[in-house]
Chains A and B, each alone.
Chain A
Amino acid sequence: MILIVYFLLPLWWLLVASTKNSHGLFSGTGGALWFDKTFALFSNISQLATYDNGIYFRWLANSFLYALTGGVGATLLAVLAGYGFAKFNFRGRRISLALLLGSVMVPLTALVIPTFLLLAQVHLINTTWSVILPSLLSPFGVYLMQVYATDAVPTELLDAARVDGAGELRTFVQVALPLLRPAVVTVLLLSIVATWNNYFLPLTVLSSEKLYPVTVGLGQWQSLANSNGATQTPLFPLIVAGSLLSIIPLVVSFLLLQRYWQGGLSVGSLK
C-alpha cells in the first residue's frame, strides 16, 4: 500500500542514514535510501556519547525526567478530576464543566509566552520546574477521563461499595480505578508524548543548555550545523543518529501498549 510507504519512508531513511558517516550522508554509495559501504552507526553513537561532554545523553535523560514527571502528574490530576466530575453531583459542577470544555479549546502554545512571563515573575525561569509544572495542565485529559468515567463506572457499584462501608478514597481506588484503566493508559501515553515532544515551552523557559530536553537540543544542533556551512560539519551524522535514538522509547511504548490505548483513544469521538 502506497500509504504505508509514505508513512514509513522517512523512518526508513532515518534508520539508514544513522548508519552513515558525514561522507556517506553527502556522497556515499547506494544513494539516500540505501546503506553506504561503511557502517558507522556505532561510531556515531560513541561520538554522541563524547561530543560536547556527552551532552546529548543528558538531554535524553532530561526528556525522560520531564516526560515522566509531567506526564504521570498530568494523568494523576486528570484521573482524579475526571472522576470527580463524572461521579459526583455538586454545586458549581455545571459551570466548572463549561469552564473545562472552554479551556480545551484554548491553544496551549498561545499560553507559552504568558507562562514564561509569569514564571519569570516568581523566578522559576530556567529551572526544571519551569518545564514540569506547566506540563501538568491537561484539560483534554480531564475531559477524556470524565467522558469515559461517566459510562465505564456504574454509579450503583460505587453506592454498593459505600453501603458496604468503604470510604470515598477506597471506593475510588478499589472500585473505580480498575474500570478506568484503558482511559488511564491513554491519557498517560498522550500526556507523556505531549511532554516528550514539546518544543516551544522548553525552548522559551530554558536558557541553560544542560536543562534542554532532546527536542530543543537537536533543534539547536540543526541550526548550528546549517550555519557552519554544509559538508565539513561533523554534526549532521550526530543529529541523524540522535534523532533515531530519541524516537525509539516512544515508538516502542506505543507498540507495546497498543492494546490499551486504542480503545481509549476513541472515547472523544464516540460521544
Chain B
Amino acid sequence: MTTTIRTPAARPARAARPPRAPKRRGGRRQWIAWLFIAPFGVVFLAFLVAPLVYAFGLSLFTQKLATGNAFVGLANYAQAFTDPLFLGGVLFVLLFSLVLIPVQMVVSLAAALVLDSLTTKLANFSRLMIFVPYAVPAVIGALMWGFLYSPQFGPLTQFFALFHQTAPNILDSHNVFGGLINVVNWQWAGYYMIIIYAALRGIDSSIYEAAEIDGANAWQIAVRVKVPMVASALVLILVFALIGTFQFFTEPTILTPASNGAITPSYTPNIYAYTQAFSYTQFNYASALSFALGAVVFIAVYIFLFATRKKGRIL
C-alpha cells in the first residue's frame, strides 16, 4: 500500500495486506493519483500550510512605531509564555477540559449504553433527539442557554421561587465555568454518543452470549465487555474534545455581553489572540499566540495518541 511499485525488495513488507492486482502502468497511475489529490492539495497548501508559514514568519517580527518592522526572533514567544493573561487562558482551557471531558464521556457513554440495550422504535427516536443539538450552531446554542440562564426571563427564577429562594446568576464569575461546561456538553454529547453507539453496534453479539453463559449480568456485560471494546471510540472522542476545548471561542464570546465582565477579553487563548489582533492591532503578537496555540495542541494530541496507542489505533 505504501511502497512504490518498482522496488521488488519491498514486496515482502506488503504480505500482510490484501492481495492487489499487479500494476504495470505504474508511471501513468502515479500521475493520475496526483490528479485526484491535487485539488485538495492546492487548498491544503493555500489555507493550511501558507497561513501557518506566514504566521510563523510574522511572529518573528515586531511592529515598531519609529522603525517599522523589526526582526525579534522568538521574543514574541518569550513574551507569550510569560504573559499572565495568555497563561491564564491556557490554564482555563486546561481546567475546562479536565472537567468537561469526564462529564462528556460519562453522559455520552451512558446514553449510548442505554440506547444499545433498547431495540425499539423509541430508541431510534431518542437517538435522533439526543443528536439534534449537534446540528444547532454553537452561536444559537450559547444564545439559548444564555436566555435560559438569565434571571430576567429564564425558568430558573420561577423554579427557585417555588422554594422561596432566589435563583443563582449562572453568568456571574462564580458560576460561569459550570454554565459553559453545560453548554458545550449539551452541544456535543449527542455527536459523541452516536460514535460510541456505532462502535457498540459493531460488536459481535456472540460475545455477549459467551459472557452470559459465564454468568455475567447486564451491568457486568456493559462495564467489562462493552466499554473495553469501544475503547478506541472513546480515545477518538477524547481527542476531538481536547482539540475542541483548546480552540474555545464562540460560546464564551456570545455569552460575554450578558456576563457582566465575568468573561474577560483574555478568557481563552483564542479570544485573547482575537483581542490582540483586532482591539490592539498587535498582529505579530497575535500570530505568535495562534501559532503557539496550534503547536501546543498538536504536540499534546500527538503525545496523547502515542501514549494510548496500545489501546487501539484510531488515526
Contacts and interface: CB of A to CB of B under 8 A. Distances in A.
A117 B55 contact: yes
A-B CB proximity, top 8 nearest: A266-B198, A84-B36, A88-B33, A114-B55, A110-B294, A114-B51, A81-B40, A226-B257
A115 B37 contact: no
B190 A117 contact: no
B197 to A, nearest CB: 8
Interface string B190-221: 10001110110110000000000000000000
Contacts of A118: 50-51, 54
A219 B258 CA distance: 12
Contacts of A101: 315
Given A114-B291, A254-B135, A103 B48 contact: yes
A62 interface: no
By size class, the interface of chain B is 35 or more
Contacts of B72: none
A159 interface: yes
A74 to B, nearest CB: 8
Nearest to B286: A113
A125 B111 CA distance: 44
Contact of B233 (A102, A172, A269): A269
27 contacts: A9-B148, A10-B145, A11-B133, A32-B148, A77-B39, A77-B43, A83-B36, A93-B1, A101-B315, A105-B243, A113-B273, A117-B55, A118-B51, A136-B47, A137-B47, A143-B315, A155-B18, A197-B138, A215-B138, A222-B143, A222-B257, A223-B257, A240-B147, A250-B135, A254-B128, A266-B195, A270-B202
B20 A107 contact: no
Interface string A229-254: 01100000001100100110011001
Given A222-B257, A247-B136, A200 B129 contact: no
Contacts of A270: 198-199, 202, 233
By size class, the interface of chain A is 35 or more
A246 to B, nearest CB: 6
Contact of A199 (B131, B139, B277): B139
Given A114-B55, A118-B51, A266-B195, A88 B44 contact: no
Given A78-B40, A90-B4, A113-B286, 16 more contacts: A3-B114, A11-B132, A13-B148, A25-B153, A32-B158, A33-B155, A76-B39, A81-B36, A88-B32, A93-B1, A97-B2, A110-B291, A117-B287, A118-B54, A222-B146, A223-B256
